[in-house]
């Protein structure tokens, strides 16, 4: 009887682990599709599900970066990408509460950050883009600002 109980317990655990794996695969596929609907097909280069489906770790190639753009325009484009891509995931996948992301171009990291349901978007720019952070309007009560490290602020466009 003990052997049967042990076998049932092991089978139950394996079933639960398989269910979590299937759910994580479904979340990953949906998150990738949602992000690529905003950014363009093939832009998501890495996507992982963590914390039993509550966190998405995602990396993508910038859809807005152009070599001829001024730094402020690049920063504004990256903020827009981050808001739209992560917002589309959070808006559709209710089990996801946090998205950690990085945006790159070729081998260069342009920005990284996080969007979560309680705190909203935070974005840190690479030194090549002046460094600093993006501070959303909801967090400050002021218009949204993109703050370069050690420099003045420029108003971010929505």
Task: Report how far apart, in Å, the C-alpha atoms of 126 and of each of 45, 74, 110, 147, 149 are.
Answer: 19, 11, 5, 12, 10
76-109 per-position pLDDT tens digit? 999 999 999 999 999 999 999 999 999 999 989 9
Could you report the per-residue pLDDT of 18-46, keeping only the tens digit for each? 444 547 889 999 999 999 999 999 999 99
Global confidence as pTM:
0.76
């Amino acid at each position: 009887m003990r052997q049967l109980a042990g076998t049932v317990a092991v089978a139950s655990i394996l079933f639960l682990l398989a269910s979590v794996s299937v759910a994580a695969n479904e979340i990953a596929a949906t998150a990738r599709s949602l992000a690529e609907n905003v950014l363009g097909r093939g832009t998501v280069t890495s996507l992982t599900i963590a914390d039993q489906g509550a966190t998405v770790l995602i990396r993508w190639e910038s859809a807005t970066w152009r070599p001829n753009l001024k730094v402020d325009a690049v920063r504004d484009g990256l903020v827009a990408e981050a808001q739209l891509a992560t917002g589309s995931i959070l808006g559709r996948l209710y089990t996801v509460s946090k998205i950690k992301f990085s945006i790159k171009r070729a081998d260069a990291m342009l920005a990284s950050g996080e969007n979560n349901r309680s705190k909203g978007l935070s974005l840190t720019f690479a030194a090549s883009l002046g460094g600093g952070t993006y501070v959303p309007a909801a967090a400050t009560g002021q218009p949204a600002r993109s703050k370069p490290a050690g420099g003045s602020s420029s108003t971010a466009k929505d």
